[in-house]
A and B are shown apart, each in its own frame.
Chain A
């Protein structure tokens, strides 16, 4: 039974090799259909996984409010521009932090963060790092881990201590060969004692939401930051200088549970809307973004399914067309085989197997190409791709199905020929 099948397959291959170019061209339809589906699925899957990882990174129970510089447009038209001699004032304030903390229920932590870029140096080595002022509970609302030493404490903030916890990239650049713990580094001209180092957040999360390097960071107590550096930040851009005043860049609110996230998000939005007439804060809800990504993924898959369907239909029609021509061309062979004892089902299986060989060979090469394309894309376009094996299996299975569906009619036509007529055929 199996050997009969294998012999039929071998025969099919031989018959197809008789017309190499024709067989190859016929295969192309299925080949490109399968390859494009596998490749597009891998790229889509990679993109959504990357997006999901970014949003998960932000914490799925978090609601994050961020300061946003209002556009010049709304600035002038509203006439509300809080502009003073020193520059633009905008964004989250300590008042916002207190109101959120005091009025919203279902909240586990509310943590404020102030972030500015500061030159950071140790001896002759220096690096421009992000300086983040925050409190000890930042650890609870962000996916950061201490590698060595400790994180900031309550007393660091109370004492306004000059202590810092440095990210992996800062450690690597300032202390390539030394132990940084208890060493002093200069941040924006002030001396800070290194009390801890962070574990690298490398991999997919290497770049955060804004594309800055999550490992190139120094944490200091928020109170220390306020005392040493104030709220005014100098901006240099295209030769001109401007200053801006932002109290807090980010307020992270952690809900008690996933279920509480929507209510907390709504409450945070309401509070901020009340306190900010300008459009100078935005609220990011990772959970909502995740849902959006999932929705996009569903749509992407539906679109792909449609493309796959159409391209495989076109490929299938090509296969059927060629097989019908083959059957006509080989009418005499069919008659001879029937005379020599072939039953209808033998003829059907012969041509069906031939179509199957054609379509699954196209499918197999297509799968191979479909896996190779994302591989190339990943290397040269710096995009993450994920080849899912169930998708590969499905694409290949569909190519085989196309072979059966579009091979059946030509095969039946071959089998239904009258042996006498077939033998007389020129």
Chain B
């Protein structure tokens, strides 16, 4: 199986999206309402995020860009429920997660989110298949089912023949593919990627971006932090941060025709 032959999952997503129209009729699955995150550093307070609001609809592809220190990672951590905003509301699939406790956040991460990291972050003592299974393990999915699903996603990213290899036996691009399969295996609402191609050479990076493009085409929602301006061409929306605030939101290369720039602030 390859990405282009995706099975049930895509059909479901498509029907849930109401025939996947690439427009505003698609449901909002993620909404930041004036979220702020500040750090206390000795005497003074650093406002890493200073009132950020935007909506992500199902099937969107967002690129978050900005200078170093502008708050990109802070924002992605908040969207990924790894951190809680100091102020503001964050709605994910309709629930406000800003007030949830640690266990609830872990559950939401496991069920609704898929992470792709710059440095792959595979667990070295586990095989490819076992790495892909990790999110399912924490949701108590029975071993047999988890194995089957992991196998399916390994094939999806083109690593069906490498399932018993250890991460260090794979190339960087292959490792990132494993990470992508792992991010997909729990069928998340959103895939969050932090510089997913940052540790790869440009050819391999393009390959990974191509894979993400295909996932997007099939209806998956992707939010990606990046430094790479060319990625803006692949995304539908580009959110530019500056000093913890949204500088502007602009349409990306894949911006669907006839859809206006969403209101942000």
Contacts and interface: CB of A to CB of B under 8 A. Distances in A.
Contacts of B111: 341
Interface stretch (A265-273, A331-339, A400-408): A331-339
Given A333-B123, A341-B106, A420 B77 contact: yes
Contact of B110 (A333, A340, A420): A340
B102 A4 contact: no
A420 B80 CA distance: 10
Given A337-B134, A341-B109, A341-B138, A423 B102 contact: no
B54 to A, nearest CB: 21
Contacts of A4: 137, 140
A18 B166 CA distance: 12
Given A3-B143, A341-B138, A15 B125 contact: yes
B123 A339 contact: no
B82 A423 contact: yes
A346 B136 CA distance: 13
Contacts of B83: 419-420
A7 interface: yes
A7 B136 CA distance: 13
B35 to A, nearest CB: 15
Contact of B117 (A7, A18, A423): A423
A343 B138 contact: yes
Given A18-B125, A420-B82, A420-B83, A340 B182 contact: yes
Interface residues of A, number: 24
A3 B142 CA distance: 8
Contacts of B115: 339-340
Contact of A340 (B103, B135, B142, B143): B135
B41 to A, nearest CB: 15
Contact of A343 (B103, B124, B125): B103
A7 B124 CA distance: 17
A68 interface: no
A341 B186 contact: yes
Interface in B80-109: 80, 82-83, 102-103, 106-107, 109
Interface centre among A4, A332, A343 (most CB of B within 10 A): A343
Given A344-B103, A419-B82, A423-B117, A339 B109 contact: yes
A339 B80 contact: yes
B143 A7 contact: yes
Interface string A340-374: 11111010000000000000000000000000000
A143 interface: no
Contact of B126 (A14, A338, A346, A423): A14
Nearest to B142: A3
A342 B121 contact: no
Interface string B113-133: 001010001011110000000
B4 interface: no
A65 B103 CA distance: 78
B160 to A, nearest CB: 22
B214 interface: no
B106 A338 contact: yes
Interface of B: 77, 80, 82-83, 102-103, 106-107, 109-111, 115, 117, 121, 123-126, 134-135, 137-140, 142-143, 182, 186
Given A333-B124, A341-B186, 14 more contacts: A3-B142, A7-B143, A14-B126, A15-B125, A338-B82, A339-B80, A339-B115, A340-B134, A340-B182, A341-B109, A342-B110, A344-B106, A419-B83, A423-B117
